[in-house]
Structure 1
Amino acid sequence: MSVQMLTQYFTQYGAIFVFVIVLLEYMNLPGFPAGVIMPLAGIWAAKGAISFPMVMLISVAAGLLGSWILYFFGRLGGDAFFRFYVKKFPKQKGLIEKNMETLRKRGAVGVFLGKLVPMIRTLISIPAGMISMDFGRYTISSALGVLVWNTVFIGAGYFMGDAAFQVFA
């Protein structure tokens, strides 16, 4: 997809486009990669089409909603999914159990740090739900991690302009 086409979507759908793409990203669903969309949203803010605080608020709200959905997926159906997964891939069981134990020990700090690591940042919500992490602590640590991650990408677009797209694309 070209930058011109993405720019057209921004123009046509505005903040809703940013929200939906970031939501899909944090739910680990296919869509436009937020690592491309977020710098473009920063460029869009730098050009005055939306305020920087507003685009940050929208992206963090979308990221947090996507994280909550996966948290509740883990809380309500994670054990059944885990049993199914390790039945298919038994060699993964030990590694997954070790990572779950690490998350139990590190708690909210583990979620925050996980939100800063590609691939893990979207999936950390499922095991957090599976271990029934306190929802309030999960929400705060998740929101802070999402804020840091999104600030880096949106801020790059805002401060570096079109050059940011070349870096993250």
Structure 2
Amino acid sequence: MTLDILMQYFTRYGGIAIFVIVLLEYLNLPGFPAGVIMPLAGIWAAKGNIAFLPALLITVAAGLTGSLILYYLGYKGGELFLQKYLNKFPKQRPVIEEKLAWIRQRGSIGIFFSKLIPMIRTLVSIPAGVSKMNLIQYTVSSTLGIFVWNLFFVGAGYFMGDAVLNYFM
């Protein structure tokens, strides 16, 4: 899928396309990285196809939805889910185990800062669920971290336009 195709999806389906693509990214499914998707949403907003605030809020809602799905899988599936995941992706075992310990120690602050670290920001939801972190604390800290992350990237696309895509590509 090329950037032109993504922009066509944005044009054809509007905010729904942004939501679905960002949701898939937050679920760690193959696709475009946030450094491409979010600036595209910002560029789309800068071109007047959507206002900046709704574009940002759509990406935050999608990110939070994806994070809550992974949290739920970790919470309900617990250790069984984690073991199957680690069997499939054994190289992530040290990161996941470290995050579990870190979440237990740092709680909400740990989730917030984890949402600002590439790769870890999407994976941290599973160990948060496995560790049975309080859902309200998880949701608030995730929302704040997702907001900061997405604001940076959507804002970069909005204010710097196509130049930001050249940087990330």
Write the distance in 2 (CA, Å) between the matches of 1:140 and 1:91.
29
SS at match of 1:116: coil
Residue 142 (structure 1) aligned with residue 142 (structure 2): yes
Provide the residue aligned with 2:5 in structure 1: 5
Map 1:40-55 → 2, pairs under 5 A: 40-55=40-55
Question: Alpha-carbon deviation of 1:41?
Answer: 0.9
Would the aligned equivalents of 1:104 and 1:131 in 2 still touch at CA under 8 Å? yes
Residue 132 (structure 1) aligned with residue 132 (structure 2): yes
Write the distance in 1 (CA, Å) between the matches of 2:70 and 2:108.
16
Provide the residue aligned with 2:79 in structure 1: 79
Range 94-103 or range 122-131, more displaced: 94-103
* 1:164–1:100 distance in 2 versus 1, CA, 3 Å: same
Write the distance in 2 (CA, Å) between the matches of 1:31 and 1:92.
19
- Tell me the TM-score normalised to structure 1 length: 0.90
Write the distance in 1 (CA, Å) between the matches of 2:91 and 2:19.
37
Write the distance in 2 (CA, Å) between the matches of 1:154 and 1:99.
27
Question: Alpha-carbon deviation of 1:141?
Answer: 0.3
Would the aligned equivalents of 1:21 and 1:34 in 2 still touch at CA under 8 Å? no
SS at match of 1:117: coil
TM-align CA RMSD: 2.2
Question: Alpha-carbon deviation of 1:14?
Answer: 1.0
Question: Percent identity between the aligned chains?
Answer: 61
Provide the residue aligned with 1:18 in structure 2: 18
Code of the aligned partner of 1:65: T
Provide the residue aligned with 2:162 in structure 1: 162
* 1:101–1:163 distance in 2 versus 1, CA, 3 Å: same
Write the distance in 2 (CA, Å) between the matches of 1:2 and 1:88.
28
Map 1:102-121 → 2, pairs under 5 A: 102-121=102-121
Structure 2 segments unaligned to the other structure (5+ residues): none
- For these two proteins, the number of residue pairs brought into alignment is 169
Map 1:35-74 → 2, pairs under 5 A: 35-74=35-74
Write the distance in 2 (CA, Å) between the matches of 1:112 and 1:135.
14
- Tell me the TM-score normalised to structure 2 length: 0.90
Question: Alpha-carbon deviation of 1:29?
Answer: 1.2
SS at match of 1:133: coil
Code of the aligned partner of 1:128: A
Question: Alpha-carbon deviation of 1:96?
Answer: 4.3
Write the distance in 2 (CA, Å) between the matches of 1:89 and 1:10.
32
Question: Alpha-carbon deviation of 1:102?
Answer: 1.6
Write the distance in 1 (CA, Å) between the matches of 2:136 and 2:158.
31
Would the aligned equivalents of 1:25 and 1:34 in 2 still touch at CA under 8 Å? yes
